[in-house]
A = this chain, B = another copy of it.
Amino acid sequence: MSPASRYTYLGPEGTFTEAALHTLPEAATRQLTPMVSVPAALDAVRSGEAQAAFVPIENSVEGGVTATLDELASGTPLMIYREVLLPIAFALLVRPGTALGDVKTVTGHPVAQPQVRGWLGANLPDALWESAASNADGARLVQEGRYDAAFAGEFAAATYGLEPLVTDIHDAENAVTRFVLVGRPARPAAPTGADKTSAVFWLRTDHPGALLEVLQEFAARGVNMMRIESRPTGEGIGRYCFSVDCEGHVQDRRVGDVLMGLKRACREVRFLGSYPRADEQAPTLREGTADGDFVAAADWLTRCLDGRG
């Protein structure tokens, strides 16, 4: 298969990432290659060995996936083309025949632990937890007999010859992980009316209110900021860049105007793409911020410049 038909993803097989990837229709026609890390998945895109990479970017319990945020903020530019939201619920996978009373040792990815801690305390208070490299890896270790049970997606059971003893385990209501499909920069897909735009910006100075000024670029155009995450720039404590998502598409005049405002107000801005919102919610538009308002204002300015204001 050619690189153009390959998608990499954060492996191994049998994780939530792979399950989320399969919700994308185009995944059916691509070669899907698991990679050992987010940087590895993205580097395959940068080098041209893959068309796109599918990686987690944010979890409603654990927060931003820093490897993804930092990779998108540095190195050869990449762009986000799709997002997927996957509700996260764990199954307790065991070898066939195991009863709950038999479970003395459990494993799973370290990130899974805080999401099942409550359930463990209530149902298996004496079970010993040890972390595995991934949820899928935990399932494999149960298959091999190293542990009695593993927390993983229910879909992983078949792959490892296990059975889901308990399903739908999640301490937090609405635990969701957000994944993004990342490719090399290209013209963003056309607006759908329910889009999201991502960017990273570096403040020009540390003066009190510098972040405030930048946020006002959004507020002044009524553009709702949906996510803001500070990340260290590596230049020392107190030096951050900010990764943000906002409502709307770069082709929306108000969003383009916000981006130009950021560009002028910041030391650096990196555009990370405009893509359809997974929740398909259209934004509410503040009066005076529709495309027509921007066009009308630009026309009016032209008339003012010509003495026909």
Interface residues of A (CB under 8 A from B): 58-64, 66, 77, 79, 85, 172-176, 178, 185-188, 204, 206-209, 211-213, 215-220, 222-232, 234-240, 250-251, 256, 259-261, 263-265, 269-271, 286-289, 293-294, 296-298, 300-301, 304-309
Copies per complex of this chain: 4
Q: Residue of B at shortest CB range from A63?
A: B232
* B263:A232 contact, CB within 8 angstroms: no
Residues A208 and B237 in contact in the complex (CB < 8 Å), given A259-B301, A301-B256 = no
Pairs across A and B, CB under 8 Å, 30 listed = A60-B239, A62-B66, A62-B232, A63-B66, A79-B307, A79-B309, A172-B235, A176-B236, A178-B237, A204-B287, A208-B218, A208-B222, A209-B218, A211-B215, A212-B216, A215-B215, A220-B220, A220-B261, A227-B238, A228-B230, A230-B230, A250-B304, A250-B305, A256-B301, A259-B300, A263-B300, A264-B289, A264-B297, A271-B304, A271-B309
* A187:B307 contact, CB within 8 angstroms: yes
Residues A186 and B230 in contact in the complex (CB < 8 Å), given A212-B215, A222-B208, A236-B174 = no
Instruction: Determine which of B60, B271, B296 lies in contact with A237 in the assembled complex, contact meaning CB atoms within 8 Å.
Output: B60
A265: shortest Cβ distance to chain B, in Å? Answer: 5
Closest 6 CB pairs of A and B: A186-B307, A263-B297, A271-B309, A260-B297, A187-B307, A208-B224
A207: shortest Cβ distance to chain B, in Å? Answer: 8
A81: shortest Cβ distance to chain B, in Å? Answer: 11
